[in-house]
Amino acid sequence: MKSYQIAELEQLTGIKAHTIRIWEKRYNLIEPDRTSTNIRKYNDEQVRKLLNVSTLLSNGYKISKIADLNDEEIASKITELQTEGEANSICASFINDLIASMLGFNEQAFEKTYSAAVTRFGIYEAMLNVFYPLFQKIGVLWVINNITPVQEHFASCIIKRKLMSATDGLPMPTKKKKFLLLLPPGEYHDISLLFANYIIRSKGYETIYLGQNVPYENVSLVLKETKPQFILMFFINPQNSEGVYEEIMLNLQLPKDIKLLVSGNPIIVDHLQNRKNIDLLRSPTDLIELL
């Protein structure tokens, strides 16, 4: 079990370190361990509790009232918020729960929160308002070294598995349009591609899903065999935008009757603005409008 210093706890929960110290003294809210040099250390359960406290505070609860609640009562209040609260508060609560589950590699708790979010909002709204913001927050925490890559992988693998399962549960395609989905060479982050695949399939269209790191030279064979009307590609990793358009056009050599759709990194998307034979998707809403 990882331990956290108070500065890390501040970044994870959004509660100031000074405030945490006051709550410890005044309300005995949590009791951290200490190093031999008297530096506070917090465990995963204490992080989870403070995340829940942060959620309750943002929903109008007073710290004096929260401090009187035991862990089960706090969890019960959080569950009530997730079913009856305002949308923004519900989303923030789900995100905090997911982060706490991720930190402790608690798959059962993570899946329970995932299911609750999808039940409450549906997959589409849950992706936009819970899971995408979750990964944005994870990105910030990763930069400041409060989480490890393996914790992010743990969370992303569960969500990817859930998206694939949801896609498998959709009816067979009935419409004529066909989409080829892939990540170009060097791209491995495929949650957005999986979500796009789900959206397209949910609208009744056929998809050919190639996944991560697809060599450009292999695409021509797939085009010849499957004859799609659209190719959808995501560029996720930060990279030099210069030359991307030329690389795409040179390597794909697309027939004129195939439309190329590009999404992902805003720098790349902006660079491809108004380029011939490319349509840009800046959000899932753009994809839905195209469908």
Q: What is the CATH number of the domain that holds 61?
A: 1.10.1660.10
pTM: 0.82
30 falls within a domain: yes
> Residue 101's domain spans which residues?
6-165
In tens, the pLDDT along 152-186 reads 899 999 999 999 999 999 999 998 899 999 999 88
Residue 29 has pLDDT above 90, yes or no: no
Q: What domain count does the chain have? A: 2
Same domain, 94 and 116: yes
What single-letter DSSP state applies at residue 42? B
1 falls within a domain: no
User: Among residues 165, 187, 212, which one ends one of the domains?
Assistant: 165
Q: State how far the Cα of 50 lies from the Cα of 11, in Å rounded to an integer.
A: 11
Same domain, 145 and 200: no
Q: State how far the Cα of 194 lies from the Cα of 160, in Å rounded to an integer.
A: 7
Same domain, 215 and 80: no
Same domain, 258 and 283: yes
Share of the chain above pLDDT 90, in %: 32
Share of the chain above pLDDT 70, in %: 94
Q: Which helix (H) or strand (E) holds 159?
A: helix 149-168
181 touches 232 (CB < 8 A): yes
**Residue 206's CB: how many other CB atoms inside 10 A?**
18
Same domain, 185 and 51: no
141 touches 152 (CB < 8 A): no
Q: Which helix (H) or strand (E) holds 142?
A: helix 132-143
In tens, the pLDDT along 172-229 reads 999 889 999 999 988 888 999 999 999 999 999 999 999 999 998 888 889 889 999 9
What single-letter DSSP state applies at residue 56? H
1: exposed, middle or buried (Cβ count in 10 Å: 0-12, 13-18, 19+): exposed
Least confident range of 13-22, 197-206, 226-235: 13-22
268 touches 235 (CB < 8 A): yes
Instruction: Give 240's pLDDT tier (boundaries 50, 70, 90).
Output: low
